[in-house]
Chain A
């Protein structure tokens, strides 16, 4: 279906918040139904998504280098990074859990960073793509992001429960950096407007 089928080309703007359709020639700035600001596309979608994506790339480095968790046992500290924690789980015979944490903490965030970067490049350089396929990829990226919080929630549970005289679990600086990666990539996905994938085709 050609671009001329787009609502914007036909003179309509869809309200982001409630879905109400407004005629462009009416030249009104807020939605008559829900009073939210009207924009044909998400404002500054590419600039904001790029800024958020670059910040998350930047936070991704400390998130993987610094320790995320320290287990103190009778005076000896056992510190590990995200990857180290997964290796420990697998070595300890907990393969399924290790794989789950691997997917949530390593696979999902890195695929998300690459995926959003590709979406931006496609729009920026107007690469000819299969819009339908890339809209599905966008939907997967937007959906899976929240599941990366798995490790962070787990740390909050472990830090709370394992707090005894002699045995303690402490969160490391990577926990802050990793939470920032998850949140920034969620904001990046939210600011990307998938309709841009259809506008230039």
Chain B
């Protein structure tokens, strides 16, 4: 048996002959129903474009005010980082680190990695670190929690609105944009196709050696 003609399901280990679904079709594991393949139209181009957009939006989402609250005549403005700093200064550094990683650092790394990977594939540039970037991106996936953070902003705002008036800043709109972009990015990223492309590109380096 030649391994090229087969695939294994990552969650039930069923040996399956490689399917070639058309764009828009989905291929599920016949035994455990896991979604295995879901080819996307122009996956590399779209991932590259969305990564650029996400990378640009990351900065206003992080540095412009999200929400402002006025209480007793004083106003307080929150940005993503100020929540982390507030926890740090109040002896809550383990929580501050978790919030910083899940809502700021990991999203930035994820967008940067997808920008690097799709950029190299778009321009057909081989790079020996492509495989490492792909692996890091794969492991980072569930630790990027922007959409959970968004829900927390909504809940916090509903709680605070009962006490005092709130104003929403441009950072919040950029943050919503960033969540939409990263969601689109993940749905357009065709990981098995990216791996095939990388395999072909790295074979070219090995032949050149």
A residues within 8 Å of B by Cβ?
1, 5-8, 10-12, 14, 16-23, 33-36, 89, 92, 94, 97, 100-101, 131-132, 135-136, 138-139, 142, 145-147, 149-167, 170-171, 175-176, 179-180, 183, 186, 190, 194-195, 197-199
Contact = CB atoms under 8 A, between A and B. Distances in A.
B7 interface: yes
A12 B6 contact: yes
B137 to A, nearest CB: 10
Given A8-B13, A159-B86, A21 B6 contact: yes
Contacts of B135: 17-18, 34, 36
Contact of A156 (B33, B34, B99, B192): B99
Interface string B72-103: 10101010001111110010101110110011
Contacts of B198: 33
A23 B103 CA distance: 40
Contact of A153 (B33, B67, B85, B148): B148
A188 B4 CA distance: 33
28 contacts: A6-B12, A6-B15, A10-B1, A12-B8, A14-B8, A17-B134, A34-B135, A34-B195, A35-B131, A135-B11, A152-B98, A153-B99, A153-B145, A153-B148, A153-B153, A156-B95, A156-B96, A157-B67, A157-B83, A157-B152, A158-B159, A163-B86, A164-B72, A165-B74, A175-B95, A176-B95, A197-B12, A198-B31
B12 A195 contact: yes
Find the residue from B3, B67, B72, B145 having the highest chain A CB count within 10 A: B3
A161 B74 contact: no
B3 A161 contact: no
A72 to B, nearest CB: 12
A35 B155 CA distance: 44
B24 interface: no
Interface in B149-166: 149, 151-153, 155-156, 158-160, 162
